[in-house]
A = this chain, B = another copy of it.
């Protein structure tokens, strides 16, 4: 019974062994993460087009939900930059930012995202996240970072710029630059500089002041709170709000009252695609972070249980005035480094945020939007990795093309269009790549039972049996290509009586390929050539037996290519075997140490 419950509530597992030492570590980690999370939550709410307090709300109940259901010990959930940007992109065209309808739609979006994640868990659809290949995710995050930073620059400059894409934003910023509001610019640029310096040198300076390295590192990451406090003080003392510096203004404090967003069918249909993408992107990001951190302590996370936990977190966000959330990279690393032992650190963080909401919201009245914008810019620019494009290009041009398409799509067409473009191109290129598999004519290495590519090795070819090796599973992307190539090869060898398809690299034959094999067999037959197979793998053979193909194609299935040749052309095969006795050692036709013949050893 307990075990069964623990399957659904992983918290029961760690709660059994919970002790004072773990509590102390969790408490410290919670404190540091809370300090980091306050400015981030406010900023990401602004980025999502919501009142700042929504960011704090989204950092209370969702953390409790993850504590109950999550399998990662150290993942910290809440609002994150990319998901906030996607929220704004989904809601911006529908409602005026800051309106009540906008806020309610954000809750609905979180609810839909939660429902989709839970449905994916139930239907074991976690594999859908695989659609988002690594180049697409990487390109998406870099481009989102640039787009977010460009979108926040107006707050630093104290100007109004509207733009749907990176080009419009950039042109708008340049056009409006002369009208920059100098006091705002001073605060914004000052915060930016402070945060950049703190990020790059803060930990070293704090260590130089005598702090222990780990504490120094974590305090440096909580630095935005300092900027926040300093700017609030400055605005208050210098009456900068009256001088035109835009501040957060009145924040309604108090805990969120549980409410269900109204479930309007039209709006649900409108938001569903965005909710699905938000769920997938959030899940992929969160699981990558959780897996990386778990491996460091030799712990394990369970992706399907993570779907449940993230789903529950988003439902919790929806019911408490929040917006879509997921596991964040920066905060999870801080939580881990600060020594969090169990997900209880997350619950304690939630308590910290709740206390903030209850007692400290008046503090935020004078908080300049420029400081929040600086917080966002510094956070997202660390996600931008343009070098990845070059590295990927060096490895694979197709993957780099998918990455570049995603980036350009996000920058110029928007986040959703960018992801869809990248995924579509990935699938297309993947299909293209497997649609023309490597197909080699092989011959017998003299004096051995091995068969190798005739173009790379000096091998013996039978005059009446053509041996063809296919280095790919046979399925719909390449079924018709196979037909074409076999017809071509048969045409080039008019004297042959048999064609043996050697299948060591064939992991699957789907219905389309089976149909193609039927066609190939029939066409070869019509030309007086009999088809055979060799080296078909066990599971593939099981499948073929379930069809009636083997009953009527008329050829044989040999366990090895050597057996096939020994049966179909014993004379040539015997001669080839005998060649070694005459001293002919096998030699590559062309010296190609980088190809079939490679051998790498490294110490």
The listed residue (B395, B400, B508) touching A543 by CB distance below 8 A is B395
Q: Are A511 and B291 in contact (CB under 8 A)?
A: no
A555 to B602, CA, bound (A): 7
Q: Is A537 an interface residue (CB 8 A)?
A: yes
Q: Is A100 an interface residue (CB 8 A)?
A: no
Q: Are B435 and A127 in contact (CB under 8 A)?
A: yes
Q: Is A99 an interface residue (CB 8 A)?
A: no
Point out the residues of chain B lying under 8 angstroms from A476, CB to CB: 130-131, 133-134, 426, 430
Q: Are A481 and B127 in contact (CB under 8 A)?
A: yes
Q: Are A480 and B129 in contact (CB under 8 A)?
A: yes
Q: Are A478 and B555 in contact (CB under 8 A)?
A: no
Flag A409-430 by CB within 8 Å of B: 1 or 0 each. Answer: 0000000000000000011101
Chain A: interface residue count, which band? 35 or more
A595 to B426, CA, bound (A): 34
Q: Are A291 and B483 in contact (CB under 8 A)?
A: yes
Which chain B residue shows the least CB distance to A512?
Answer: B134
A437-B507 contact given A550-B600, A602-B556, CB 8 Å threshold: yes
A480 to B302, CA, bound (A): 12
Q: Are A484 and B303 in contact (CB under 8 A)?
A: yes
A392-B511 contact given A538-B596, A559-B599, CB 8 Å threshold: yes
Point out the residues of chain B lying under 8 angstroms from A505, CB to CB: 504-505, 507
Q: Are B559 and A598 in contact (CB under 8 A)?
A: yes
Point out the residues of chain B lying under 8 angstroms from A600, CB to CB: 541, 550, 556-558
Point out the residues of chain B lying under 8 angstroms from A475, CB to CB: 133, 430
Q: Is A514 an interface residue (CB 8 A)?
A: yes
Flag A563-603 by CB within 8 Å of B: 1 or 0 each. Answer: 00000000000000000000000000000101111111110
Point out the residues of chain B lying under 8 angstroms from A16, CB to CB: none
Point out the residues of chain B lying under 8 angstroms from A471, CB to CB: 507, 537
CB distance from A195 to the nearest CB of B (A): 29
Q: Is A546 an interface residue (CB 8 A)?
A: yes
Q: Is A2 an interface residue (CB 8 A)?
A: no
Q: Are A508 and B129 in contact (CB under 8 A)?
A: no
Question: A269-277, A293-301, A347-355, A364-372: which lies at the B interface?
Answer: A293-301
Q: Are B479 and A130 in contact (CB under 8 A)?
A: yes
Q: Is A20 an interface residue (CB 8 A)?
A: no
Point out the residues of chain B lying under 8 angstroms from A543, CB to CB: 395-396
A508 to B399, CA, bound (A): 12
Q: Are B298 and A526 in contact (CB under 8 A)?
A: yes
A130-B480 contact given A599-B559, A601-B556, CB 8 Å threshold: yes
* Chain A residues within 8 Å of B, Cβ to Cβ: 127-131, 133-135, 287, 291-292, 295-296, 298, 300, 303, 391-392, 394-396, 398-400, 426-428, 430-438, 471-473, 475-481, 483-484, 487-488, 491, 504-505, 507-508, 510-512, 514-516, 519, 522-523, 526-527, 536-539, 541-543, 545-547, 550, 554-559, 592, 594-602
List 13 A-B residue pairs with CB atoms under 8 Å apart, sorted by A's residue number: A128-B428, A130-B431, A134-B516, A291-B487, A296-B526, A298-B526, A395-B511, A396-B543, A399-B511, A471-B537, A542-B594, A556-B602, A557-B598
